Structures are given as structure tokens and as C-alpha cells.
Structure 1
């Protein structure tokens, strides 16, 4: 027969409601009583029912992570730190994926009885933040934000990383500078483009429109965009990519075109994913602590669940340039 809360109550010499309150650290229960209840529960091997907890507290202790681009290697890297941070705080991670960010997604999130949501692939024109706000479901932006609704967010400040990268590029003699920028409806693409242009302008260099391509944040799109740049009569000698997975595509395009990296073209990414440092790749990139950013997002959403009226927090993470094999001196051609 399964151990019940009544069994714990008898052993700890308290009432059954006190057992429930003690195991969820209700401040109305003294520390001594909470200790006795926990010891009794451990001795009996009692495991509280999640359904019962949800009914008594009005919370499921489940947080959703909404990712509409699961194929992107970046998001595969943030799932683990989000899960670990939520677990430490007593919450379960529920991964939700969708091919499009629309009202249907929000209704699915609501229907799953979540306490809060981390929005990981929000676009500027997304309706999800508006719908979540209107339905009263706490949420946090991770990496990307939307101006439509102000909310807690963890974001990257790309300026320092681009300034360092451009300094290296100029010192190595590059003047034909290309860029494969991300989708214009994402805050990340906009902030990175702005930071790149500002760093170049500070050194008297402009980004030639002929050397600019825009594409989704994926490898195949980066491959196609880089191939078109390398096919120009005077191709760029260096290509800044919207992120590392786009840069992987650019490396593939260079290999296919017979252009040596970095002798024929230099390639720079953004994010510093684990594979970027592999000896077979050694991608020069702009880095930041995306795992810490993911953990911070998990912390913010649980704080918002507990205290929905607290001031909104925007937590920013700085960047730094990491030069590796894919950046070299400008080619003479």
C-alpha cells in the first residue's frame, strides 16, 4: 500500500494539512515542524502528489520553453541550463515547439496549465507576448524581444564584441567587408547589424550594400548567402555572419567554391557555440555566456510567477571577440 500524507502526519505528530504546508515550505509552519515532517516523509519514503500540490497551491510548478526553431543548434544548447535552473527552483521544464509563432501556440500553452513561459524565438511582429499578457500568464523573453510588450528579458549587448572584431579585421587589412545578416523581424539581427555598422563607421568604413545578404539563422541559408557573395567579381575578403550556424554554412560554401579559409576569405560568427572551438572548425566568433543567460531567464520567470507585481527586469550580457583560425590577413586578390 502506498504511503500517504496521513501516515506522515501520524509519525510527525501533526495534522494532515500541516504536512502539506510543511512540504511546500509554507512560512506559517515553524522550522522545527517542517524539519520533523521532512524527516518523517524521508523515513517513510513519501512522495507528494504533483496533482495534489497543484490543487492546493493553484500552481502546476511547470514552466514552458517555447522554441519555434528547434533545428537551430543554439537552442539545443540552452535547454539543459534552463532545465537545471528550473529544477533547482522546484519547477519542471515543458518544451513546446511550433513552426509558427501565432495565437494557436498561446492557446496550447494556456491549455497545458503552465505557471509561466520563456519565449526563446520571438519575432518583432509576434502576437504571442500580447496574448500571454492579456491571458495573465507570466513570461520572460530569452535572447529575442518584442517592442509590443515590455517584459522581463535576458538579452545580449553585441557592441563590445563587434568593436573588438572590427578592430582585428581592420588591422589585418580588410576593406571589402561582407555581412550575412539575420531576419529583419528579429531583435537579435537588428542589434547585431547596428553594432557592426557602428563599429565600422567608427573606423571610417561603410558596409557596401552589394556585400550584404539577409537570411534565416540556419546553416543552409548561410551556405546559399555566402555562395552568392563569393561569386561576385570582387568578393569580400571577410564575412561577418549573423550567428555561428550561419557561419558553418559560409564555411561549407567556401569549401565548395574552392576558396581557402582564411587565405581566400575570413569568416566570423556570433554566439561561440561549443562546435565553434572544435579543431576541425576553429571559428572566429563573438562570444557571450549563453548558458548563464538561459539560467537567468529561468530565474526571472520563476520570480515573476511568485511576485507578478515586481518591477520588470532587463538583464544584459556582454560580448567579447574570440579570434581563431578562420580570421586571417586580407587576401591580395
Structure 2
């Protein structure tokens, strides 16, 4: 069997250099990497993942924890995270649970992961605390928890929702409804605060009777729109916590015979691919989801491979309004 020592002899380098070169380490020159790769290809050498783990103390496996399994937002982040991690020689391992508890943390730790991307964290989650206590690096993606600071890749909803508020006011809307996400998520809290503040600047407000809350899913949007559109007077525009909620709201309006945007306007958040479909044409708040997913993976690799303590990095991605067909002048 061809070994890394054989590759080292052919390339004229040490065996540790072979390992670092094949991991694309920044400590190895590009010329040396080229020689090592050529030697490995010539000999038909395939690195052993088990050997790598034993020699480095790492499994080169990164977990992505998802507990909000019904949220159609998260499937869109798996591919960019996978590609970014693959470029550094890591494997993405999906970890799915229906709850966010200390038991989940222990399961993550027992799986021998080098680090964890926390994508569905609640503000009161104990998982970050358990991971930090056990020395497992982690990065917040999209949502954060109050109990523990860590590297994060998140969205700033203020610019996009400020545009929404200005557009709503300019189009003559005075009765504004909203379908928000759950109070125990940082994304729902931030988006609600940003929207209310932006509307207040335009002399508008959302009354308690014109508000609905629930998980970031289709059913929340459907049930919320049914309730809000059944009011008299009903809102002339409904701002939704995310695009999945907005899709539920659009379907409820269809079932009720309420025309969008002639009778009621709808606005989402996230700009998922479905928002641009000709059958949907959802006006929504957008940000670079692909870049944010890659950044979270990059931050975690940096944290895993850091030889000395480093300050936390908080990557915040801006937002902007994407105008399509579901927002029009008040009727």
C-alpha cells in the first residue's frame, strides 16, 4: 500500500509536510503543494481519514445542527456550507433534532465532531453553554443565544425593513398587519423591533389585534393571514417574518378569495428561490444567503484550527428590499 512516506520521498519533502500540503495548509508554499499533489497522483495515493484523525487529533467532521426541521430556509444553506468546508478538507455532517436541550449538546459531543454550526438556536438555549464547557468550537449561523458569545454570521434587518416601511407609507398604506416569528428566536425579535421602529418613523404602527406570532413555517402564515384578513377593517398590507410564512399567507388569501396585491399586499423576508417564481413574485427583503453560509463555515474552520485564543468575529450581512408583484398601492 502506498503511504504518505512514499509521497514524501518522491516529492522531496518530509511526511508532515505531505499531510499539511494535502490539507491545503497556509503554512506550505504553493510550489510545495504542487509537487506533493503531483507525487500523490503519480503514486495513486489516497489519504486515510482515520490516519488523519489519529495524527491531527481531529476527525475533520463539522456538524450542522437543525432543530427547526419544518423551516424551508435551511436546506438552502447546506450546499454552500458543504462546498466551503470541503475546500478546507472538512466534511459536513447534518445533525437533526426536534428540541434544543442539553441532551442535544451531549449527543453532538459524543459524535466526535471538530466543531458545530448552530443554525436554529433559541435565545434561551443551553447548547452553546454545554459545548463551551466541553471545549467544542461552535459558530452561530443566522440565530444567536443570549447565554454565550461566539463567532457568528447573522443578518441586519434594519436597512431592508426600513425600505419596506418607506415603501408602505409611500403607497398609501395605513392599516399594517404583521405575522412574526417566535419570541424565543433572535431573528424574530430583531425583525419585529426593526419593523416597528421603521414604521414609527413613517408615522405608522401595528396594533396588537393586527399581529400574529408562531413558528417560522407555512402553517403560521396561513393561520395568521386567515385571522388578520377576517378582521374588519382588515390590513391593507401584511409583513411576514420570512418567505415561508409569506407563502402560507398567500395561500390563505387565495382560499379566502382575497386578491394579492389588489385587496391586500404581502411582504416576506429572506428572498428564497421560490419568492422569484412567476406564480409567486413575492416582494421581500433580501441578503446574500450563500455568502453568509460560507462565512459561517469559514469562521468555524478558523476557530477549530486556531492554535491560540482569538477574538470573536461577528459577520453581519446587510439587507435590501426586492420589489416584485405582491406589494402595491393601498386599495
Q: Report the TM-score when normalising by structure 2.
A: 0.94
State the Cα distance separating 1:88 from its structure 2 match. Answer: 1.1
State the Cα distance separating 1:108 from its structure 2 match. Answer: 1.5
Corresponding residue number in structure 2 for 1:322? 322
- Cα pair distance change 1:33/1:265, threshold 3 Å: closer
Q: Show CA shifts across 1:140-159 (max 9, x none).
A: 00000011001100111111
Structure 1 stretch displaced more, 300-309 or 276-285? 300-309
Distance 1:33 1:167 in 2: 56
Corresponding residue number in structure 2 for 1:184? 183
- Give the CA RMSD over aligned residues: 1.9
Matched, 1:161 2:160: yes
- Cα pair distance change 1:145/1:17, threshold 3 Å: closer
Distance 1:151 1:28 in 2: 26
- Cα pair distance change 1:45/1:223, threshold 3 Å: same
CA contact (8 A) 2:183 2:189 kept: yes
- Cα pair distance change 1:39/1:204, threshold 3 Å: same
What is the count of residue pairs matched by the alignment? 330
Q: Show CA shifts across 1:84-131 (max 9, x none).
A: 111111111111110001112111111111111110000001111100
Distance 2:272 2:220 in 1: 18
2:193 counterpart SS class: helix
Corresponding residue number in structure 2 for 1:220? 219
State the Cα distance separating 1:72 from its structure 2 match. Answer: 1.4
Matched, 1:286 2:285: yes
Unaligned runs of 5+ in 1: none
Matched, 1:103 2:102: yes
Q: Report the TM-score when normalising by structure 1.
A: 0.94
Distance 2:14 2:315 in 1: 44
1:330 counterpart SS class: coil
1:114 counterpart SS class: coil
State the Cα distance separating 1:44 from its structure 2 match. Answer: 1.0
CA contact (8 A) 2:2 2:44 kept: yes
Corresponding residue number in structure 2 for 1:50? 49
Structure 1 stretch displaced more, 21-30 or 188-197? 21-30
- Cα pair distance change 1:4/1:221, threshold 3 Å: same
